[in-house]
């Protein structure tokens, strides 16, 4: 039997996302779903190591055929947790969910090398940049011969006995081949893939999108919303309740940031607008929260085979002050949109108009969406 462990317990901190990196959207699927899909045609069992608290969400994404366990504080801890869920395997592949676009052919090549007798196999690419050692003073010390150097990728493959043995200790490493090498095992290197890049930053995600080719097309939309303040109303803005602030009039809760985002998404997808989908002709949405409308909007555009790449919203008004709760608002909006990347800005209009005169609040949003084949 061939098993695979998908390391997906990493945070999205370096990416700047409020959700685990494995749950970031790449085209029509999350990074994790891409990774699992490529492995499923090659291995008999897949174990995903999930961030604590996200196990159920990941189970709903990958289905019952995939085992989901709670990952550890380090990558090696997560691999050990995955190993504990595997039994009776001859070979095990260890793959990073962040290398979402590694192909099934690459995984099959790793398995083929294992079946030929190697106990540790890694895909890798040559180093193409000039390399130099630089001293503490900022000057070059010497050049490094790049010819024998390689950029190591995943999935990496091991005999079960070797992988289990190298993870018996408490040591940690950035990849498993290093542990195998330190334990005295020979590590076979095979040709890697440019598309198996590690997605760590937004620019990496943009690069990864280029590998999806004609399967995706992009479109943008802009949405605007404004409401006047209304005495006796609670203020809801960017999915948050703002106590001690006067709310705004409206059919729903009057969350201008959420409403502007909804309209931006509808404009980008051509699937109506806020009024046609949730207006006064739809009494079930009377008093609905902005978060509810965002979730409904996500459902509508997802059925139209669109996914969200990025959303930005600028809130315009003298109050409330957004800065102190910006991170909380971003997390709330992103969660309502299935983990999409969200940016929030705030400004005033220097005393001019509805917002500048303190009579109300407004928002302008833009959305970048992907049409999936």
The whole-number average pLDDT for the span 72-93 is 92
Query: Average pLDDT of the chain?
Result: 89
Q: Is 46 helix (H, G, I), strand (E, B) or coil?
A: strand
In this prediction, residue 170 carries a pLDDT of 61
**Nearest residue to 250 (alpha-carbon basis) of 273, 330, 258:** 258
In this prediction, residue 240 carries a pLDDT of 94
Is 323's pLDDT higher than 90? no
In this prediction, residue 305 carries a pLDDT of 85
The whole-number average pLDDT for the span 40-59 is 91
In tens, the pLDDT along 185-200 reads 999 999 999 999 999 8
Of the pLDDT bands very low, low, confident and very high (cuts 50, 70, 90), residue 352 is confident
Is 143's pLDDT higher than 90? yes
In this prediction, residue 16 carries a pLDDT of 65
Distance CA 279, CA 291 (A): 16
In this prediction, residue 172 carries a pLDDT of 77
Of the pLDDT bands very low, low, confident and very high (cuts 50, 70, 90), residue 12 is low
The whole-number average pLDDT for the span 84-101 is 94
Is 112's pLDDT higher than 90? yes
Distance CA 53, CA 50 (A): 8
Is 314's pLDDT higher than 90? yes
By DSSP bridging, strand 306-316 and strand 360-372 are antiparallel
In this prediction, residue 78 carries a pLDDT of 92
Region of 279 on the Ramachandran plot (φ > 0 left; ψ -120 to 50 alpha; else beta): beta
Domains of the chain, CATH where assigned:
2-199 (3.90.550.10), 215-372 (3.30.1330.50)
The whole-number average pLDDT for the span 223-231 is 89
In this prediction, residue 23 carries a pLDDT of 86
Distance CA 295, CA 337 (A): 6
Distance CA 75, CA 94 (A): 11
Residues of the binding site:
225-227, 251-252, 259, 273-275, 347-350
Residues of the binding site for a divalent metal cation:
225, 227, 259
In this prediction, residue 298 carries a pLDDT of 94
In this prediction, residue 224 carries a pLDDT of 92
């Amino acid at each position: 039997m061939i098993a695979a462990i998908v390391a997906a317990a990493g945070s999205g901190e370096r990416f700047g996302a409020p959700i685990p990196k494995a749950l970031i959207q790449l085209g029509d699927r999350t990074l994790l779903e891409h990774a699992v899909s490529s492995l499923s045609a090659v291995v008999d069992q897949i174990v995903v190591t999930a961030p604590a608290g996200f196990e159920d969400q990941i189970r709903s994404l990958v289905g019952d055929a995939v085992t989901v366990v709670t990952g550890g504080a380090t990558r090696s801890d997560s691999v050990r947790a995955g190993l504990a869920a595997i039994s009776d395997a001859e070979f095990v592949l260890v793959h990073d969910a962040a290398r979402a676009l590694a192909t099934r052919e690459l995984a099959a090549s790793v398995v083929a090398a294992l079946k030929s007798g190697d106990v540790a196999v890694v895909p890798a690419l040559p180093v193409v940049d000039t390399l130099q050692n630089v001293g503490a003073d900022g000057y070059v010390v010497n050049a490094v011969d790049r010819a024998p150097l390689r950029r190591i990728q995943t999935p990496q493959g091991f005999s079960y006995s070797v992988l289990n043995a190298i993870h018996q200790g408490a040591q940690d490493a950035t990849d498993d081949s290093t542990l195998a090498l330190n334990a005295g095992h020979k590590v076979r290197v095979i040709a890697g893939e440019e598309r198996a890049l590690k997605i760590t930053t937004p620019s990496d995600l943009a690069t990864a999108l280029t590998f999806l080719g004609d399967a995706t097309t992009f479109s943008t939309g802009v949405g605007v919303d404004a409401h006047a303040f209304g005495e006796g109303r609670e203020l809801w803005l960017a999915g948050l309740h703002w106590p001690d602030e006067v709310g705004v009039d409206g059919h729903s809760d009057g969350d201008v940031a959420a409403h502007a985002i909804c309209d931006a998404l509808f404009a980008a997808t051509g699937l109506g607008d806020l009024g046609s989908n949730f207006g006064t002709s739809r009494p079930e949405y009377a008093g609905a929260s902005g978060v509810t409308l965002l979730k409904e909007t996500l459902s509508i555009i997802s059925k139209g085979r669109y996914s969200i790449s990025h959303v930005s919203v600028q809130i315009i008004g003298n109050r409330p002050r957004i800065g102190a709760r910006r991170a909380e608002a971003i997390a709330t909006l992103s969660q309502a949109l299935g983990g999409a990347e969200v940016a929030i800005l705030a400004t005033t209009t220097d005393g001019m108009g509805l917002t500048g005169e303190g009579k109300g609040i407004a928002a302008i949003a833009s959305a970048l969406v992907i049409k999936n084949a």
